[in-house]
Amino acid sequence: MKRVLILLQIVFLSQLLHSQVTNTRKWRKTEKDSLDNALLLYDEKNYLLALPIFNNIHANHPKEEFVKYIFGKCALYRADKYEDAYNVLSEVYAKNKKVENIEYDMARASHFTNKFDKATTHIDAFLASKRTNPAMRKDAELLKRYISNAKYYTANPTKAKITNLGSLVNSGEDEYVPAITADESILIFTYRGSKSKGGRMNAFMQPDPYGQYTEDIYMSVKQNDQFVAPVPLDSINTLGHDAAISLSHDGQILFVYRDNGDDHGDIYQSYLIGESFSKPVKLKGQINSYSWDGHCSLSPDGKTLYFSSERSGGFGGRDIYKSTLLPDSTWGNVVNLGDSINTAYDDDAPFIHPDGITLYFSSKGRTSMGGYDIFQSTMNIDSTFKKTEHLGYPINSTDDDIYFVLSASGNNGYYSSGKKGGQGLKDIYLIETNFTSPRSLYLVKGVTTADKKPVETKIKVEITSRNNAVFRAFTSNPANGQYLLTLPAGADYKITYTYLDKAPQTLTLSTLNISGYNQKINDVGFDTSVTPTVEATPTVAVASGTSEATKTTTVRADNFVTNNKVQEKVKLFADKYGDISAEGLEFRVQIAAYKNPKNYVYKHLKGLGKVEKLLLDDQITRITIGGNFNTIGKAWTHNKKVINAGQKDAFVTALYKGKRVYLEDLEKMGIFVVK
């Protein structure tokens, strides 16, 4: 079967090239087998997989015209091979200008290598030919527009500077789709190569030495203003494809793309809990559909998600939509962004800047220089986007330019590209933008501590200029106490930091009259040596360069005296979410936990319910008493009885669908919400 395919290919190509059939009689068997595999891949349009094989065959047999031609065709699909494609196709063209579609191939090769006058000559010749079929004519007309746009933009470059991030981040394989925190302290990206957890897989996700490497997610942190060697996110990566999409501006939520084979690809989210990310969970609501849904970006207040989709009803190909976070923590109210953003061609990779109003995206339409180009649009007062702007050359090129992200300051952008001269295939690049218009916002970050040790602190951000509307509510990282938030221009804000029953601390900021990027480091420390029943809250005001202090009072709702921080946390959660229940959620009062449990007796707890052993997936047996409770309020009430009976270290533990979860996880999952 393969030999018949090779013969058909040779005859077909020889007719096109008006040259002799390639003589493979003197070839080594391994070369014939390689040609066999390469032609099969080419026939299936797997040009990138076929390319290195044809490259080797062409190097060993440079005079074989059909090998040269197919090698040139495949090289048009890899950016670092565009010059090779132009050179070999030029040789074919010089010998025979009647090869089918050779004018179109030469136009593409000339366009990719910035030879725009030659590209124009070839595409005009192709369009003038009576042999050009209608489908190819449509592609050629689009290419002609690309060539014209590219000629204009390259003649009028911006001041942007593009630099490869180097060998500490990039390798000889694929690194792409960068995602960053607003302060550029963390970089997360997708990797595909020999280190992939799943190795090479075929289309059916079975091990295959000729298959593609699976995708993994890697993370790099910045130290001394440089990204260090990245590490895989083992808590997320599987044997299948795991691709990073985007990161919330504060770094707490990672969005992941997965395709399980029956849903055409969906968006998942993972939360940073301590020092690792949780298992990704598919977004709930209307964002994921039976069509491809593959990229997204979260607004700074966490209430709007911009995403790209191939669902029906759009303007053509992929379109960009937005969705609103509903009170039940699902995503709804999906709205197409309209023809001011979307075109009849593919529009993809939205990124909403931390300023909350500037949207970056990639489009194959409009004034693209070729394939995807990056555009920006600013939100109007009515939340619509009306005017788009091309980011110019050299940020945009004749190749695909996509997955652009920008720091809060607006000074540095990042994207991936297969530019010639990189570390390998696709690499991640730093873009010094040199934008003329500033991105106006306030970035606030710091560390929350108690007795100089990092602690998890509740942080609530209110817009005081809008009747104290809650802008965001979140917690600092429990492992290191770090937090980060961005405040868009045009409002007055109050940030309240709460830890256990200590006096809350507040910071007020005004962004009404700011121009450009502003940053404040606000470390917050709590003293646990004093536990007042009536608390004074110091407030630090920062507005228009002035400071002032005010005081408020807060009275505790529960006067029960706890014995440790775990019980204190349970008490606080019970005060706030005491009546909330959910399907699959239960609470138990834990009195002990053992790796190898024995038969212990709890005589002092007689009359407080049945003592049970609970073995969870971490292989630790937990001893609980009183059965399960459907709310944390009921569980805490029983917990206090157990403590008063003499079990001083008893506390409430939560289970969701049979697995233990932390109480703060229930907030992040949207189960614990203030009603």
Question: In this predicted structure, what is the pLDDT of residue 21?
Answer: 47
* Token pair recorded at residue 201: 């897989």
The 10s digit of each residue's pLDDT in 19-49 is 344 667 678 888 888 888 889 889 888 898 8
Question: In this predicted structure, what is the pLDDT of residue 33?
Answer: 84
Where along the chain do its domains lie? 2-155, 161-432, 441-555, 565-668
- Angle formed by the axes of helices 65-75 and 102-112, to 10°? 50
Q: Is the pLDDT of residue 661 over 70?
A: yes
Q: Which residues pair with 629 in a beta bridge?
A: 587
DSSP 408-474: TTSSEEEEEE--TTSSSSSEEEEEE---SS---EEEEEEEEEETTEE---EEEEEEGGGTTEEEEEE
Confidence of residue 121 (pLDDT cuts 50, 70, 90): very high
The 10s digit of each residue's pLDDT in 75-117 is 999 998 999 999 999 999 999 998 989 999 999 999 999 999 9
Question: In this predicted structure, what is the pLDDT of residue 386?
Answer: 86
Q: Which residues pair with 432 in a beta bridge?
A: 161, 412
Sign of the four-CA dihedral 392, 395, 401, 407: negative
Q: Which of 123-127, 272-276, 588-592 has the highest mean pLDDT?
A: 123-127
Contact residues for 90 (Cβ-Cβ < 8 A; gap 6+): 106, 109
* Token pair recorded at residue 601: 């007796």
CATH topology of domain 161-432: Neuraminidase (2.120.10)
Segment 523-544 shows an average pLDDT of 55
Confidence of residue 604 (pLDDT cuts 50, 70, 90): confident
Q: Which of 43-52, 138-147, 157-166, 485-494 is the least confident region? A: 43-52
Question: In this predicted structure, what is the pLDDT of residue 270?
Answer: 96
CA–CA gap between residue 510 and residue 174 (Å, rounded): 43
The 10s digit of each residue's pLDDT in 265-320 is 899 999 998 889 999 999 999 999 989 999 999 999 999 999 999 999 999 899 99
Q: State the chain's mean pLDDT as an integer.
A: 88
Q: Percentage of the chain with pLDDT > 70?
A: 90
The 10s digit of each residue's pLDDT in 167-182 is 999 999 999 999 999 9
Sign of the four-CA dihedral 40, 46, 52, 54: positive
CA–CA gap between residue 352 and residue 298 (Å, rounded): 7
CA–CA gap between residue 389 and residue 395 (Å, rounded): 13
Helix/strand/coil (H, E, C) string of 486-548? EEECCCEEEEEEECCCCCCEEEEEECCCCCCEEEEECCEEECCCCCCCEEEEEEEEEECCECC
Question: In this predicted structure, what is the pLDDT of residue 227?
Answer: 95
CA–CA gap between residue 281 and residue 291 (Å, rounded): 18
What number of other Cβ atoms are within 10 A of residue 113's Cβ? 17
Short-list 227, 216, 225, CA closest to 187: 227
How many Cα neighbours within 13 Å face the side chain of 405? Answer: 31
CA–CA gap between residue 174 and residue 194 (Å, rounded): 10
CATH topology of domain 2-155: 1.25.40
Query: Are the C-beta atoms of residues 87 and 114 closer than 8 Å to each other?
Result: no
Confidence of residue 637 (pLDDT cuts 50, 70, 90): very high
Q: Is the model more confident about 595 or about 199?
A: 199
Q: Is the pLDDT of residue 568 over 60?
A: yes
Contact residues for 327 (Cβ-Cβ < 8 A; gap 6+): 673
What is the pTM (predicted TM-score) of this model? Answer: 0.77
Question: In this predicted structure, what is the pLDDT of residue 325?
Answer: 95
Q: Is the pLDDT of residue 504 over 90?
A: yes
Question: In this predicted structure, what is the pLDDT of residue 16?
Answer: 46
Segment 219-226 shows an average pLDDT of 92
CA–CA gap between residue 659 and residue 330 (Å, rounded): 22
Contact residues for 328 (Cβ-Cβ < 8 A; gap 6+): 670
CA–CA gap between residue 263 and residue 257 (Å, rounded): 12
Segment 222-241 shows an average pLDDT of 93
The 10s digit of each residue's pLDDT in 324-356 is 999 888 999 999 999 999 999 999 999 999 999
The 10s digit of each residue's pLDDT in 360-400 is 999 999 999 999 999 999 999 889 998 899 999 999 999 99
CATH 2.60.40.10 fits 441-555, yes or no: yes
Q: Is the pLDDT of residue 598 over 80?
A: no
CA–CA gap between residue 190 and residue 214 (Å, rounded): 10
* Token pair recorded at residue 71: 């090698």
